[in-house]
A and B are shown apart, each in its own frame.
Chain A
Amino acid sequence: MNYIASPAFDKLPEPDTFYPAQPGRAPQWRDNPSDRDIEIIRRAYPVEDEFDLILSRKMKRRNSGTYRLPTLDEMSACVRAFLSANIEGEFSISNEAWLTGGASKIQFGFTLQWCAPERGHSVDKLVVRMEPSESLNATSRRREFQVIRAIADTVPVPQTFWMDPEGEWFPEPAIVYGFIPGTAKPTMDRARVSGIGTQFGPELRARLGPQFVRHLAAIHTFDWRQADLSSFNKPALGTTEASLWQLNRARRVWEEDRGEDLPLVEHVANWLQDNMPVLDHASVLHGDYRAGNFLFNEINCEITGWLDWERCYIGDRHRDLAWATTPLFGSTAEDGKTFLVSGLVPEQQFYEEYQKISGLEIDPQRLHYFRVLNAYQSMVGPIGSSYRVVRLGKSHQDIVLAILEGAAYPNANELLKLLREKY
């Protein structure tokens, strides 16, 4: 690692030692980090225990070569071996197929015929969900499995079946969950990328909007203390722990992955560190709560399930509130001016109904903080992580990640506006 010794300022105290990016075709230390490199970054940015494991694993495997998507036959063989170890009795699988959607995960669908405990002979459509060897968001299947299982009686979610948290059976850590029927976007809006400015139309909005708000309030008021969330660190109330872990996670990812240095990113990290809010109420957070991450039945207009819980953690509800109200995920109503949160609910109405249902207040200052954090994270991933993944050929969707860089700059523009706002 090269350290720039600048006589302009006092030597930067740890953890602020700066290791510049080395763009270009020549080998970079970030392509092949030593144990010492990994340890320096670990110590510089303390994160939740499970994320420490995930990110360290990513770095230790970094020089393991390019990624190859398993063939259907190979994946089927993995599924069979896994099920043999986890199911008693005869079973058969069929209709195996790779599923599309999502920039960071691989999903494999299949139909399982088996003798399910308490149900007897069953036919279940299942999904294996895992990451490629590196992705846009390095996350934990263990955490995803635990939170979906914990929240199952609170909001509609897929049914969880099994997990392989260490990648013992599958090429990568994986969870197996039930397929949920439904669509992520209305038929009339098929051409648009799911979750970006979705146009639901007034009729669907009237039915889905209340569910959207109600489910978020339910998640944030869920009593997680009774649930098995052993892979989640629990932040203390009255501290900035929750915010610091999230900031450090993003900073650590930037340090581990980036291919270019950006003064703006450094500036924002400083601002975030200086303005961390104190936690008043610890909530389970979805982490990516927006249109595009729920499925719904277009006929009865019911939300059938919330997906993509990989970014979940226990922390400040304002993080989810800020994310859900991100301009990129919203759209404008037919009047040409009313901003609709995730294309569903006028913004003020969203806040009012959320507060009424949850009993939790929304603090504009904390909302602002998490808007900045979200925008920062939305630069770190597309600019930093996507660079490293594509450079090293670490996913089955390198082309998606190459294009995703462009998504960082509307976020950067939003960030500049946010930083000019005064609170």
Chain B
Amino acid sequence: MSDRTVMGIRACIASLEKIIGPVVAQSEDSLAKEQLTLMTRYLDQVTQRLDYARDYTRVELQQYVKMARDIVSASVQYNIACNTLTEVLSAAESGLANPKIRTRELEDASIGLRAIISQITRGIRYATPEFRARIESIVLNQSAVLVDLKRAWCKPQGWESNSPDVPDLEALIARHSA
């Protein structure tokens, strides 16, 4: 049975533009007119991105797994225990290795890693300068990839329409997929 979700959303857009839009255009409600335009644009962006949703979620998790692995490595090197991070990382790695895992579960694994890594990052101010510098370097470097993923995802919104260096989503996913 073929998925008709994107087709259905496009039908919503058509309805908004061709049936509802003309009626709203005749009204004096400028807020309604503005929001109708925003809605159709947003739904159009969703149709452009829906096919990539699972791959995006997987690649994002892979980046957080990389970040976590590097932090664990650094912790071992500096002889600092990180049991909680190791546990959360292990669960995330199992999730990635499971071909049947649902997209929602991939997201939850990302959420778990983000939480513990964020907590570590917040508290790293109290660590030794060398260890702190190491962890911060890992967070910054890996965050650059994650920011690129988000920029690529949001590209259809046009925030960076004058910027030539916004990455292509498909190319990014291909490059960072394991």
Query: What count of chain B residues pass the 8 Å CB interface test?
Result: 51
Least CB distance from A237 to B in Å reads 27
Query: Most A CB atoms within 10 A — which of B67, B107, B123?
Result: B123
Which one of B29, B116, B147, B148 lies within 8 Å of A264 (CB-CB)? B147
Least CB distance from A375 to B in Å reads 11
Smallest CB gap from B36: residue in A: A399
Tell me whether A262 is interfacial, beta carbon within 8 Å: yes
Given contacts A8-B84, A18-B118, contact A264 B143 (CB under 8 A): yes
Contact call B147/A413, Cβ cutoff below 8 A: yes
Contact call B151/A410, Cβ cutoff below 8 A: yes
Given contacts A263-B139, A403-B42, contact A20 B118 (CB under 8 A): yes
Least CB distance from B120 to A in Å reads 7
Contact call A267/B85, Cβ cutoff below 8 A: no
With the chains together, A197 CA to B85 CA distance in Å?
Answer: 43
Q: Which residues of B contact A (CB under 8 A)?
A: 28-31, 34-35, 38-39, 41-42, 67, 75, 80-85, 107-108, 111, 114-127, 136, 139-140, 143-144, 146-148, 150-151, 154, 157, 159-160, 162-163
Given contacts A9-B127, A397-B35, contact A16 B85 (CB under 8 A): no
For the complex of A and B, 6 pairs with smallest distance between CB atoms: A406-B154, A20-B115, A261-B118, A8-B82, A266-B121, A264-B143
With the chains together, A236 CA to B115 CA distance in Å?
Answer: 37
Q: Binding site of B, secondary structure by majority: helix, strand, loop or mixed?
A: helix
With the chains together, A99 CA to B30 CA distance in Å?
Answer: 7
Given contacts A4-B115, A260-B114, A263-B114, contact A97 B122 (CB under 8 A): no
Tell me whether A412 is interfacial, beta carbon within 8 Å: yes
Contact call A399/B42, Cβ cutoff below 8 A: yes
Contact call A262/B118, Cβ cutoff below 8 A: yes
Contact call A21/B80, Cβ cutoff below 8 A: no
Across-interface contacts of A197 in B (CB, < 8 A): 162
- Sample (20) of A-B pairs whose CB atoms are under 8 Å apart: A6-B123, A12-B122, A21-B115, A98-B30, A98-B31, A100-B34, A261-B114, A261-B115, A262-B114, A262-B118, A267-B136, A269-B122, A397-B35, A400-B35, A406-B157, A407-B159, A409-B147, A409-B150, A412-B150, A416-B147
Least CB distance from A24 to B in Å reads 8
Q: Which residues of A contact B (CB under 8 A)?
A: 4-10, 12-13, 16, 18, 20-21, 23-24, 69, 97-100, 197, 260-267, 269-270, 273-274, 328, 331-332, 396-397, 399-400, 402-403, 405-410, 412-413, 416, 419
Contact call B120/A8, Cβ cutoff below 8 A: yes
Given contacts A264-B139, A270-B124, contact A405 B154 (CB under 8 A): yes
Contact call B126/A263, Cβ cutoff below 8 A: no
Across-interface contacts of A396 in B (CB, < 8 A): 31
Contact call A97/B42, Cβ cutoff below 8 A: no
Across-interface contacts of B139 in A (CB, < 8 A): 263-264, 266-267
Beyond A21-B111, A99-B30, A410-B160, 8 additional pairs, beta carbon < 8 A:
A8-B83, A10-B126, A262-B114, A264-B143, A266-B122, A270-B122, A410-B159, A412-B143
